[in-house]
Amino acid sequence: MQAKYDRGDIRRLNAVSALKQLRESGPLSRAQIADRLGLTRATVSAIVADLIAASLVSESEFEEGGVGRRGMLLDLNPSCGSMVAVELDIDRVQVVLANLGMEFLWRGEASLSAPVTAEEGLQRAGELVEQALGRGAELGLPCFGIGVAWAGLVKRATGELAYGPISGWQSVPIKEDWEARFGTPVYVENEAHAGAIAAHHLGEPRGVRDLIYLSLGVGLSAGVFVDGGLLRGSEGYAGQVGHTPFVAEGHRCGCGRQGCWVTEIGASGVLRKLRAEGVELPEDADANLDWVPGVCELGRAQDPRVLRALAEEGRQIGEGLAQLIQVFNPSRVVIGGHLRDLLALCEAEVQATLEEKVLYPMGKDLSVVVSASPEDQLLGCLATVFEAVMQNPLLVSAS
């Protein structure tokens, strides 16, 4: 069946195309946009009027060719509204308010003492979201949406927190509840998917089409971009690599099975290796990740026990990662998550293991990096809201 477009669809698609030109090329005149899109000046003027009415685009005067003729240049207006990002982790929740230029305008954080129920976790997160929205209102910025990154399986169709293998949360209708409560669109992503979205849209270089983002913390999952699109799977659950079998008869996992990859390289596995080496750790080390900076410090001071434990960690990361690389053939692998600071101390072992385990031509031009930012998940949430606005800019003008 032939798809039919009505005038509204065409108006939207033209607006999306004009915004894309401005995002990619920076300031342009109406005439330049018309030339690039092959549209008439009148059509472009109408689109631009919509986008200026929505404050998504601003115009400024410039001098043409230094002869005193004035022209108008159009550009995206980062201060036209706000977005909220929520990182909902096992042991803490972080919330930021940002403008469309990804500049943070407010941030708040609360720690959660594991194990925390979904009700308690969402209550703390909801309080912080209210504060963020309050700050946005004080600044006079309309909110374009809330992005949530969560350490568990997110059901694509409904934005439900379907299942947290470590938190134990199940079937939490966060999207539905928060859209009703806050009156703005809510986008929910698995934490590794959010990290991959950040690496794809905001990473250096931008727009890498085939990449794997491995999120390593208490849990472990992957976000995979294949040919420029995030691989989600039929339900949205793709990338749960932490629960692939890694050691036969291995340690018991939160998912109820034994020997999952996360039981070896996730926080519980790192703690076990450190304890086996006799490294002293805080009493509550199993309940949060506050021990990570201290262990990093010992590692940087060349404590041989920490270095031995992390060398083993690096080898186990490399072994599992080699499988993923051979399945997806990425050009870039980014390792992030709350254990990323430890990874800087075992990068050499990860690389050496990959050289040994990945088929030669696949590993040749592959770059494997530890994320430079502790905020991938928050940035991925913001990028999700931003992309939604860019895909439907006229909804903003209607609001």
- Binding residues for Zn ion, rule: CB under 5 A, are 243, 253, 255, 260
- Here the tokens at position 312 are 């083993």
Closest by CA to 278, choosing from 305, 238, 260, is 305
Helix (H, G, I), strand (E, B) or coil at 238: coil
For residue 275, give every residue at least 6 positions away whose Cβ sits within 8 Å of its Cβ, in sequence order, or none: 281
Q: Give 242 or 380: the residue with its C-beta nearer to Zn ion.
A: 242
What tokens appear for 74 in the block?
Answer: 């159009």
Smallest separation (angstroms) from Zn ion to the CB of 242: 6
Q: For 244, left (φ over 0), alpha (ψ -120 to 50), or beta?
A: beta
Judge contact between 17 and 34, C-beta under 8 A.
Answer: no
Burial bucket for residue 183 (CB in 10 Å: 0-12, 13-18, 19+):
exposed
Rank residues 147 and 164 by Cβ distance to Zn ion and give the closer one. Answer: 164
Residue 262 CB, shortest distance to Zn ion, in Å, is: 6
What is the closest distance, in whole angstroms, from the C-beta atom of residue 118 to Zn ion in the complex? 19
Q: How far is the CB of 255 from Zn ion (least distance, A)?
A: 3
In the complex, least distance from residue 243 CB atom to Zn ion, rounded to whole angstroms: 4
Structure tokens at 232: 């989600």
* Contact predicate 226/328, CB 8 Å: yes
Q: Between residues 90 and 306, which has the closer beta carbon with respect to Zn ion?
A: 90
* Nearest to Zn ion of 132, 241 (CB atom): 241
**Min CB(251)–Zn ion separation in Å:** 10
Measured from the CB atom, is 166 or 296 closer to Zn ion?
166
Nearer to Zn ion, 240 or 371 (CB): 240
Minimum gap (Å) between residue 164 Cβ and Zn ion:
12
Instruction: Please count the other Cβ atoms lying within 10 Å of the Cβ belonging to residue 346.
Output: 23
What is the full DSSP assignment across 187-206?
EEEEHHHHHHHHHHHHSSST
- The distance of closest approach from Cβ of residue 114 to Zn ion in the complex, given in angstroms and rounded to an integer, is 17
- Please provide the DSSP assignment of 290-316 as one string: TTHHHHHHHHHTT-HHHHHHHHHHHHH
- Measured from the CB atom, the residue of 92 and 243 that comes closer to Zn ion is 243
What are the φ and ψ backbone dihedral angles of 204, each rounded to 5 degrees? -110, 120
Query: Angle between the 30-37 and 41-53 helix axes, to the nearest 10 degrees?
Result: 120
CB of 153 to Zn ion, least distance (A): 12
CA 92 to chain centre: 17
Work out whether strand 104-111 and strand 92-99 pair parallel, antiparallel, or are unpaired.
antiparallel
Question: Which is nearer to Zn ion, 269 or 299 (by Cβ)?
Answer: 269
In whole angstroms, the minimum distance from the beta carbon of 368 to Zn ion comes to 24
Residue number, 255 or 311, with CB nearest to Zn ion: 255
Q: Report DSSP state, residue 278.
A: T
User: 161 vs 260, which CB is nearer to Zn ion?
Assistant: 260
DSSP H stretches of helix in the chain: 7-25, 30-37, 41-53, 118-138, 174-182, 191-202, 261-265, 267-276, 292-300, 304-328, 340-343, 347-357, 360-363, 376-391, 393-398
